[in-house]
Structures are given as C-alpha cells and as structure tokens.
Amino acid sequence: MTVPGSGEGRGDARSHAPAAAGVLDAEGVVFLGPGAMEIVPYRVDPPGPGEVRIRLAASGVCHSDLHVLDGHWTRPAPTVMGHEGAGWIESVGPEAAPPSGAATRPDAATRPGTLRRPRVGDLVVLAWTAPCGRCAACRRGEGWLCHDPAGSGHRRSPGDVRIRRPDGAALGAYSGIGTLGSVQVVAAEAAIRVDPRTDPAIAALIGCALTTGVGAVTRTARVQPGQTVAVIGLGGVGLAAVLGARLAGARRIVAIDRRAEKLERAVELGASDVLVAADSPATTAAAVRALLVEGLDAAGSSRDAASATEGVDHAFETSGTVAGAETALAGVRPGGTCVVVGMPPQAARLGLDLYAFVESGARILASNYGSAVAAEIFPEIALRAVESSLAFERLIEERIRLADVPSAFDALRRGEGARRVVIFPAA
C-alpha cells in the first residue's frame, strides 16, 4: 500500500513495489485553449486514498476531444486530453474510508468490475463517468447520469491535482482520466478491471466508442433479434453501433455515411446494407426504405414488405450532426425508436415537425455512455472482444504514437477513417 508522499523523487518506473512508487515522469497531449495543444512531459504524484495510478497502454482519439480542441465545447485549460483509454495499475493508494452504512459483501472478491480491490498489474479500462454511488441517479441504478462522478471537474481544483509540469504548475486531467497522457492517477472507481487477455487497443475503445455504440443498441434501444436498424455516421461510435446491432441479432443493418470509403468497413463489422448519405435527410430516408424493400427475399411475407416500406425499427444517429438526427427521424417507422447518440457542438438545435412526429408515435431517446454502468458493461464487452477479436479489430484504422495525435485530429476533422489509437511505449 502506498503512503502518499512517501518515496518522493524519481521512483523506478518499472518497479511494482508500491513502497518505491514516488513521482513518475510521463508525457501527454495538453489542451491549452481553443485551437492550441502541445505534447509535453509532466510529472505524476503517487495515488492518494481511494485512487490508483495507471500506466496507459492505449488511448483512442475521439471526436469529443476534437470538440474540445476546436472550441465547440468549453473546457478548462491546461488539461491533459483524452477520455478513451486502458492500461495497467501501477500502484494503489490507501483504501478510502467506506461510505457510512456500506457493508462488505462476501462475494465481492470474485466478481469482475470494480468490486474486488484493485491490484498492481490489473488491466483496466478507464471510465469517463465513474459513478459516485450516492447521488439520486446512482441510487436509481443510472450511474451513467451520475451528478458527482469521481474525479470530475477535470481534476483541476487544488486538492484534486495529481499531475504537474516539470516546473510544478498544475495540469488538469480531462474527465478525471486524461488518457492521452502516459501515466495518470484516477479514482479507483474509474478503473474497471477487464479480462487480461483483451487487446489493450480494443480495451481503450471500450472506454468510449464501444460502450457508447454497443450500449445504445443493447441498453438504450434494447434492439431485439430480427429487428431492423439504421446507423447514421460511421466513425468509432457508429461502427461500434453496427457491431452492437450484429451482436443483438438485428435482421437488417443499414449503415450510412457521407463518405463512400467508410462503408466497406461497416460491412466487415456486420452491416447488411450500406448507403452514401444524400444531401437531404428525406432523400436518405427514402433510400433506406427502398433498400429494405429490395432486400426482402422471395420468401419474405407481404407483412414484412409492408413494414419495410415504413422504415426501420431503430435508427441511431451517431454523427453528432443535426442532419443526422433529421435522417434518423425520417428513416424510422411509425412507433419506432430514434436514438440520438453522437455529441453535437453545444450550439446545435433540432427543429421538429411536431404534428408529424406526434402522429408517428415514434420515440426519440438520448443515449449517454450507452445507458450503461461502466463496471457492468466494460467486462461484458471485453469478453466479447476476446471471443471475436477479428471483428473488433476492424474498428481500428491505425495504431499511432503520441506524436501523431495532431495529424489524427486533422483526419477526424476531415471525417476520414475509423478509430486511431495511440499505443504508449512499454515502460
């Protein structure tokens, strides 16, 4: 067990002996304000009570990071960016005092997820919302909506700072985890243990894209075997939604993007049909219906045909655009479910033909972090990835170094390719 402040100085980075764990040297992408970032060294304190220190193995570069960098979302600076990462526990802080009334359950040690006390060497996926367990949302079992997640505020308040520039100036950690940095101190609740056989690059994606996309399908919409699905936008989250729809047993999965070169990857992940988005949402939606009808084989019943002309059972908007949401609304059948998943710029507003919408009896659902509790869904997805790693591998466009992050942001801005994942060098 590490005592904060003990062993100050350069700890042996490779040592797993907690007593020797002092301040560690690290390197990360620091957000300096809209349009500005730098890749710089920083220093990491030992973990405090209820915290763990993580050596990052991999971090995805997500569109949400780009929203921050491009000033679409207001976030404090300077802050180490990134919120989609996985790594190994390097050291464990002292146990936090248990909340009053909490009892230790005898079966806790055997369950995956957070319940067993974290150990040095555990492979963990970092959660950008680590439920506090006490607020109203957490008590409802909706930890993804937690009002006061552990390590929130980007770890910038004086008592929360764990990383500093070499001159001692404080740095924040985005969403309390700052995964585009090679070492971080996080709340133990934010570090979810997964099967150690999981490819670390895939594990990183479980922290955002996979949970968001798969959870939207299986948790938010609860897609049933045999239903029809459309996915609008084929970035990391959209491709994960395609994969999730396949895992859920959807009968037809129509994958849609503005860029034709993204469609092939969606087919590899399980899409039955693909479509280049048209200029207008109504035109795209009409094309979806035409595909559904065309795809009915000779044995298809007339009832299936009638249903197909009405649209899909579930439409998932993952592009973070108003046009995408309009396409989802136009493409869903009466009584169907339109799930808004992609995070738009803060100023985005959706217009709605209210009369037509009420008449349609459709539902619009917002999906935040896959409507899932990280400690439950992370180990589940990791197990799926271990079982069928080839499919999950198709989510990754390229494995890159930290120095390549600026060009990865450029590619994201242009809407090019699937996920780019930073692989950190082994310590």
Residues lying near Zn ion in the complex (CB under 5 A) are found at 62, 64, 131-132, 135, 138, 146, 208
Contact 242, 271 (CB under 8 A): yes
Nearer to Zn ion, 182 or 212 (CB): 212
Contact 20, 1 (CB under 8 A): no
CB of 19 vs Zn ion, minimal distance in Å = 33
Query: Measured from the CB atom, is 93 or 131 closer to Zn ion?
Result: 131
Residue 18 near residue 1 (C-beta atoms within 8 A): yes
In the complex with Zn ion, the residue whose CB is nearer, 81 or 292, is: 81
Residue 387 near residue 231 (C-beta atoms within 8 A): no
- Pairwise CA distance, residues 215 & 207, whole Å: 12
Q: Which residues pair with 192 in a beta bridge?
A: 125
Residue 217 or 288: the one with the smaller Cβ distance to Zn ion is: 217
Nearer to Zn ion, 29 or 208 (CB): 208
Q: Residues 191, 124: contact at Cβ < 8 Å?
A: yes
- Rounded to a whole number of angstroms, the minimum distance from the CB of residue 237 to Zn ion is 7
Q: Min. distance of Cβ 63 from Zn ion in angstroms?
A: 7
Return the DSSP state at 210.
I
The least CB distance from residue 142 to Zn ion, in Å, is: 9
Of 135 and 386, nearer to Zn ion (C-beta) is 135
Contact in structure between 46 and 22 (CB atoms under 8 Å): yes
Residue with tokens 């069928």: 388
The count of other CB atoms within 10 Å of the CB of residue 67 is 19
For residue 78, is the peptide bond before it cis, meaning its omega torsion is within 30 degrees of 0? Answer: yes
Nearer to Zn ion, 135 or 293 (CB): 135
> Residue 342: what residue type?
G
Report the nearest approach of Zn ion to the CB of residue 290 (Å).
33
- Closest contact distance (angstroms) between CB of 207 and Zn ion is 8
d(CA 117, CA 401) in angstroms, rounded, equals: 32
Q: Cβ of 409: how many Cβ atoms within 10 Å? A: 20
In whole angstroms, the minimum distance from the beta carbon of 150 to Zn ion comes to 9
- DSSP helix/strand/coil, 99: coil
